[in-house]
């Protein structure tokens, strides 16, 4: 299965949001429409329970239902990956085993994140998960939430020994990403989480992207990936510039970016585009305000998405 | 029940370690001896599943068994508190409800810690838990792991509206602690997590301490608390100085302090003192080495604990 | 001279503000009144060019004039110390040599702070200054500005080899302070920069304090030091509590503390108390607003200082 | 003059090292060879006293001599820029006025960096320098040393009001860089400090680079810039990859990057290439070891630079 996933893993894999009903439960009907919307936009995979998917905030029941739905909708046409963002190794393993039963194609696992984790502990974490669960693993490198950067040395060690088959880099460390792209073993799958740096990541040799903003407009990312791989660089530059402008949807009036606000923007965009019902977020995120919704609408209209 | 716990909450409440067998399961026999050991040392409460208790790394089964055991051993003589350190609000609520069934006296709840949490979100988090679970709540303020300091303003707001009845301050911010001690409403229970600052905390008006080092020598903390409250300050100073020297048990050869090493020191101390079997830690913490054990033994002997 | 300063160094040593005229030059007349005001309040030394003194922002001419004035006013009755907060070692040495000509008693030197400084570099820095300048040295440990915490091991190494005779701890790390107080060689002079923790610092064995808030009310700190050393602990507690309330003068309406605002509060307090003319701050700090002045006045009145 | 500099400012502008003799003084003969070496490599400007130039550690005398030498050697063929990295606004102004007398073309100014600087203070800082000194200004954005990121909003405000004509971005924030590139006013000159992201920066619309690694091999950066601007992207990719490999010269055996080590690598490379005498660094940086020199030599040989 590892080889199979490797062969299929490339392109745009949205870290899809998790639609919730007004009472906070999983909204299956919205989710079905959402996953289909992405597939119709041409995405190359679905990634559930990343940060954009509010993974660490969801109940077990919601995670189960969402994954079951995504696997069913995807129907084997594209790989379905699940994020496992648990505070400790044993909890990652327990969750990963439950997920495996649902027929997913791979796991994207973050380091433990309650305690500060040393590089030695990061390595032991991935090895333990690898030993316990027979599914391809990718590293989720996201120090803004986990407090630890998976170092270049750690990443290469895990890659070379075959513990992991790839990584989603949401580290914000573009220099480290470029160095990893240069040093990684052949076949190691490298994805960026950075919307506005997709062209730069492809230039560096990345295999694709897992961009939160693909929840707002997956078609733009698919187009960018397609024209880039076709070598039409001038078109790629124009699409990238549209994406940079669309990124403003994540920025609050005071110029800062916060997770709850950004995920609220994604849900609002999908709501405004008629894909999902409501914009309910997990606690403790605040509900989307009318002002917030108006800002999202405005950016979508300026960007030609609405 | 809130009033009842408030009346009883003061003194030394160890954040007890969680004994594990070699295969990583809960070691009930060791735990029974451990909880009795603390009670015989005169502690004024038991706090399970804090950082020292490896709370966020434990399986649900282990948490259930440990809590059931502690409640049974305590037998109502001292309050039993449980830490709820979950990455999101709904998961805190689900866990708290399960714990409540076991007859505990109160909850010590950390802010959500995967996403960075704003002060507004911290407030909403505690209110939501308060609405959902009928148990007294204390704030667990530990920014080194949660990334967010519960601000003075937030703490006072939660205290004054009655959402929480107290706090465990493991923030390392002694200035903030002193300001909180001065401004807190009457009846708000304030505990320090700082072993070496216990006298300073009592001087500032703290109600007691939840010190990880009480896992190594609870008797010293109980003695310090007793002589301090009896006004015998010179004796208190001497005991505090012994505690400062004993704190070296947490310090690695390179001068740094890391969670896995410190918890390993606690388990080693209790093992060397004949209380628990083994020193098994949760993954991804590394096993205690022979060198580490020798250092612990040496510090315990120099401090007269062994 | 080292021995002489050591013998005299204890108690309350305000990190005095630097009075400026409206055009930003040194205001000699205000400074003379200010230094006399502190001496009449009973302080045990004067410390110029710390953070409260805006040391790193002052022109060379202002530093020269201020130091010459302080030495003259002090007249040998109390030691005069000068902060040397320069981004590099050679610049510290050059500045220290100029200061030495003015007859000061000792230097309080921060680590280099433009580049991040390793512990090995911290040690080399102090040794180089020690070799080049024949004046007693104290470490200024203030990681909030210098980015580096002088580690316990580094501090002890510098102390034991005689490179430095003491330290001003503005690290905010009360645990580290307590450990240093326990481990420091006899005769090493340890001062806290923490206003609200003065009693705790004395309890831990500190020799005194260099508190920015002494710029607002030096008399309170001198009184606290005096009653503490006389063993009248209940009186000490009452004064410490007044100081905690007075500390609010540094807190902005939004609950945060910023250097420019805090130093503005100091200058405003001394202005309101009739000691200095104006409240001019160095660029880029914003001028004190009328609202800010009203808040300072209000806290001073509530605290009985005005 | 502003307009003139703007018209000429583009391409590769090395942040040149400052050659020192064994006794720590400016090594004029080495500097003359060094500046000529860069000019012969085709660089488009010289930038003195950045981080690579050890600017904040140098004595005033060294800065004066180095600048006088650089202006003389450049002879008007390329612009000469000087970094002004002083802890406070008035000291920036005093230094900038001295530098202006030497005939330089522009100033690259960092925010004040001893105290933490708010965005309002950053703005006031640049406006004050702009009012006081008649030279084109660029922002030096380097939060790893100054502790403050110049926000997108601040940068745009300073750009639009004409206070600054450009920026050197050494922030490591590639997302912020891309957003700034998209939003900046026409004519605002944007340079990256990132060696391994030069192609990505040019793709984003940057005007050029100020890469520390140009001290090791300026010719590679000039080539990359030339082939990129000629639209020969495949060649650009190959050169960028060589630069990524050459970047290893900055990495210590333990995988970390430290300023002193990296600047030591630059001086060692220029020494090995026969351009400068010795490798002396400013205190408190440690001297280059034989092992360090061997590593540099090895990387240079593997990269075909030696």
CA D193 to chain A, closest CA, distance in angstroms equals 11
Helical (H) or strand (E) element with C228: helix C218-229
The pLDDT tens digits for C160-198 are 999 999 999 999 999 999 999 999 999 999 999 999 999
Which of the 8 DSSP states describes residue A303? T
Q: Which residue of C has its CA nearest to B203?
A: C200
Report yes or no: A26 and A204 within 8 Å, Cβ to Cβ. no
Instruction: Answer yes or no: is pLDDT of C257 > 60.
Output: yes
**Token couple for B56:** 């966020």
**Token couple for D44:** 């488009």
Whether residue B284 and residue A116 make contact (CB cut-off 8 A), yes or no, is: no
Q: Is the dihedral of CA C30, C35, C36, C37 positive or negative?
A: positive
Most C CBs within 10 Å, among D49, D56, D115, D212, to test the C interface: D115
Confidence of residue D148 (pLDDT cuts 50, 70, 90): very high
| A-chain residues near D199 (CB < 8 A) | 200, 203
Measured between alpha carbons, how far is D1 from C59 in angstroms, rounded to an integer? 29
ipTM of the complex: 0.96
Measured between alpha carbons, how far is A220 from A209 in angstroms, rounded to an integer? 12
Residue B87 DSSP SS3:
coil
**Token couple for C236:** 């000490």
Q: How many CA atoms lie within 13 A of A182 on its CB side?
A: 21
Whether residue C258 and residue D118 make contact (CB cut-off 8 A), yes or no, is: yes
Whether residue C178 and residue B172 make contact (CB cut-off 8 A), yes or no, is: no
**Token couple for A217:** 């407009």
| A-chain residues near B133 (CB < 8 A) | none
CA distances (Å), origin C158, targets A254, C111, C133, C167, C174: 46, 13, 16, 10, 20
Confidence of residue D181 (pLDDT cuts 50, 70, 90): very high
pLDDT tens digits for chain B (306 residues)? 445 788 889 999 999 999 999 999 999 999 999 999 999 999 999 999 999 999 999 999 999 999 999 999 999 999 999 999 999 999 999 999 999 999 999 999 999 999 999 999 999 999 999 999 999 999 999 999 999 999 999 999 999 999 999 999 999 999 999 999 999 999 999 999 999 999 999 999 999 999 999 999 999 999 999 999 999 989 999 999 999 999 999 999 999 999 999 999 999 999 999 999 999 999 999 999 999 999 999 999 999 999
| D-chain residues near A172 (CB < 8 A) | 173-175
Report yes or no: A108 and A83 within 8 Å, Cβ to Cβ. yes
Residue D72 CB contacts under 8 Å (≥ 6 apart), including other chains: none
pLDDT (0 to 100) of residue C3? 52
**Of A136, A55, A61, A67, nearest in space to A102 by CA:** A67
The pLDDT tens digits for B275-294 are 999 999 999 999 999 999 99
Instruction: Answer yes or no: is pLDDT of A125 > 70.
Output: yes
Most C CBs within 10 Å, among D63, D85, D283, to test the C interface: D283
pLDDT (0 to 100) of residue D7? 83
Summarize the confidence of residues C215-243 as an average pLDDT: 97
pLDDT (0 to 100) of residue B7? 83
Biggest CA–CA distance in chain B, Å, is: 51
Q: Which residues of A183-222 are buried (b: 16+ CB within 10 A; e: fewer)?
A: bbeeebbbbbbbbbbbbbbbbbebbbbbbbbbbbbbbbbb
- Average pLDDT of chain A? 97
Q: Which residues of B251-272 are buried (b: 16+ CB within 10 A; e: fewer)?
A: beeeeeebbbbbbbbbbbbbbb
Whether residue B88 and residue A58 make contact (CB cut-off 8 A), yes or no, is: yes
Measured between alpha carbons, how far is A187 from A173 in angstroms, rounded to an integer? 22
Report yes or no: C188 and C208 within 8 Å, Cβ to Cβ. no
pLDDT (0 to 100) of residue C155? 98
Measured between alpha carbons, how far is D22 from A96 in angstroms, rounded to an integer? 60
Most B CBs within 10 Å, among A96, A122, A283, A287, to test the B interface: A283
Question: Rg of the Cα trace of chain D?
Answer: 18
Which of the 8 DSSP states describes residue A206? -
Report yes or no: B83 and B55 within 8 Å, Cβ to Cβ. yes
Q: Which chains reach chain D with 3 or more Cβ–Cβ distances below 8 angstroms?
A: A, C
Residue D37 DSSP SS3:
helix
Q: Is the whole-model pTM more than 0.80? A: yes
Residues of B with CB under 8 A from a CB of C: 151-153, 172-175, 178-179, 182, 194, 196-197, 199-200, 203-204, 233, 237, 241, 244-245, 247, 255
Whether residue C57 and residue D88 make contact (CB cut-off 8 A), yes or no, is: yes
Of B115, B144, B258, Cβ closest to residue A145: B115
Of A152, A244, A255, Cβ closest to residue D178: A244
Summarize the confidence of residues A84-103 as an average pLDDT: 97
| C116 burial level (CB within 10 Å; 0-12, 13-18, 19+) | middle
Most A CBs within 10 Å, among D152, D156, D157, D175, to test the A interface: D175
Summarize the confidence of residues C81-98 as an average pLDDT: 98
User: How many A/D residue pairs have CB atoms within 8 Å?
Assistant: 60
CA C11 to chain B, closest CA, distance in angstroms equals 19
Q: Which residue of D has its CA nearest to A194?
A: D175
Summarize the confidence of residues D119-135 as an average pLDDT: 98
* Touch between B and C (at least 3 CB pairs under 8 Å): yes
Q: Give the alpha-carbon dihedral of C68, C69, C72, C74, to 10 degrees.
A: -120
Measured between alpha carbons, how far is D97 from C82 in angstroms, rounded to an integer? 27
Measured between alpha carbons, how far is D19 from D30 in angstroms, rounded to an integer? 6
Measured between alpha carbons, how far is C109 from C111 in angstroms, rounded to an integer? 7
What are the phi and psi torsion angles at C53 (to 5°)?
-85, 5
Most C CBs within 10 Å, among B204, B213, B241, to test the C interface: B204
Whether residue B200 and residue C200 make contact (CB cut-off 8 A), yes or no, is: yes
What are the phi and psi torsion angles at A211 (to 5°)?
-95, 125
CA distances (Å), origin C203, targets B179, C143, C152, C167, C238: 18, 24, 19, 17, 15
Confidence of residue C4 (pLDDT cuts 50, 70, 90): confident
| B-chain residues near C151 (CB < 8 A) | 255
Residue B208 DSSP SS3:
strand
**Of D225, D224, D219, D229, nearest in space to D240 by CA:** D224
E strand intervals along D122-280:
137-141, 166-169, 189-192, 208-209
In order, the DSSP letters of C87-115 are SSHHHHHHHHHHHHTTT-SEEEEPPP-SS
Confidence of residue A153 (pLDDT cuts 50, 70, 90): very high
CA B223 to chain centre: 18
The pLDDT tens digits for D205-264 are 999 999 999 999 999 999 999 999 999 999 999 999 999 999 999 999 999 999 999 999
The pLDDT tens digits for A1-57 are 445 788 889 999 999 999 999 999 999 999 999 999 999 999 999 999 999 999 999
Q: Which residue of D has its CA nearest to C123?
A: D284
Place of tokens 């660094």: D281
- Average pLDDT of chain D? 97
Peptide bond into A284 cis (omega under 30): yes
E strand intervals along A144-215:
166-169, 189-192, 208-209
Whether residue B179 and residue C153 make contact (CB cut-off 8 A), yes or no, is: no
Helical (H) or strand (E) element with A296: helix A290-302
Measured between alpha carbons, how far is A165 from A81 in angstroms, rounded to an integer? 13
Instruction: Answer yes or no: is pLDDT of C73 > 70.
Output: yes
Which of the 8 DSSP states describes residue C26? B
Q: How many CB atoms lie within 10 A of CB C5?
A: 20
Residues of A with CB under 8 A from a CB of D: 151-153, 172-175, 178-179, 182, 194, 196-197, 199-200, 203-204, 233, 237, 241, 244-245, 247, 255
Of A51, A128, A284, Cβ closest to residue B283: A128
**Of B121, B48, B37, nearest in space to B85 by CA:** B48
pLDDT (0 to 100) of residue A4? 78
**Of A170, A298, A177, A288, nearest in space to A245 by CA:** A298
CA distances (Å), origin C144, targets B180, C111, C134, C259: 21, 12, 29, 11
């Amino acid at each position: 299965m590892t080889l199979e996933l490797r062969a299929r893993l490339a392109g745009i894999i949205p870290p899809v949001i998790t639609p919730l009903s007004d009472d906070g439960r999983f909204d299956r009907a919205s989710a079905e429409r959402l996953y289909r919307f992405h597939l119709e936009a041409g995405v190359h995979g679905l990634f559930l329970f990343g940060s954009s998917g509010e993974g660490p905030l969801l109940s077990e029941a919601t995670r189960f239902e969402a994954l079951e739905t995504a696997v069913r909708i995807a129907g084997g046409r594209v790989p379905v990956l699940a994020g496992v963002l648990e505070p400790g190794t044993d909890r990652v393993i327990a969750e990963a085993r439950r997920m495996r039963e649902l027929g997913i194609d791979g796991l994207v696992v973050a380091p433990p994140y309650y305690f500060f984790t040393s590089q030695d502990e990061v390595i032991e974490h991935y090895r333990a998960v690898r030993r316990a669960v027979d599914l391809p693993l990718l590293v989720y490198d996201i120090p803004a939430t986990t407090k630890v950067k998976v170092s270049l040395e750690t990443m290469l060690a895990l890659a070379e020994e075959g513990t992991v088959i790839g990584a989603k880099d949401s580290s914000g460390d573009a220099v480290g990403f470029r160095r990893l792209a240069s040093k990684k073993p052949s076949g190691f799958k490298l994805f960026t989480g950075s919307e506005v740096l997709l062209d730069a990541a492809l230039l560096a040799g990345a295999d694709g992207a897992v961009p939160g903003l693909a929840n707002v407009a997956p078609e733009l990312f698919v187009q960018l990936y397609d024209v880039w791989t076709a070598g039409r660089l001038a078109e790629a530059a124009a699409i990238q510039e549209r994406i940079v402008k669309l990124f403003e949807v994540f920025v609050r009036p005071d110029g800062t970016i916060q997770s709850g606000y950004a995920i609220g923007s994604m849900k609002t965009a999908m709501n405004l585009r008629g894909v999902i019902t409501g914009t309910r977020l997990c606690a403790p995120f605040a509900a989307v305000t009318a002002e917030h919704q108006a800002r999202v609408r405005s950016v979508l209209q300026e960007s030609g998405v609405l």
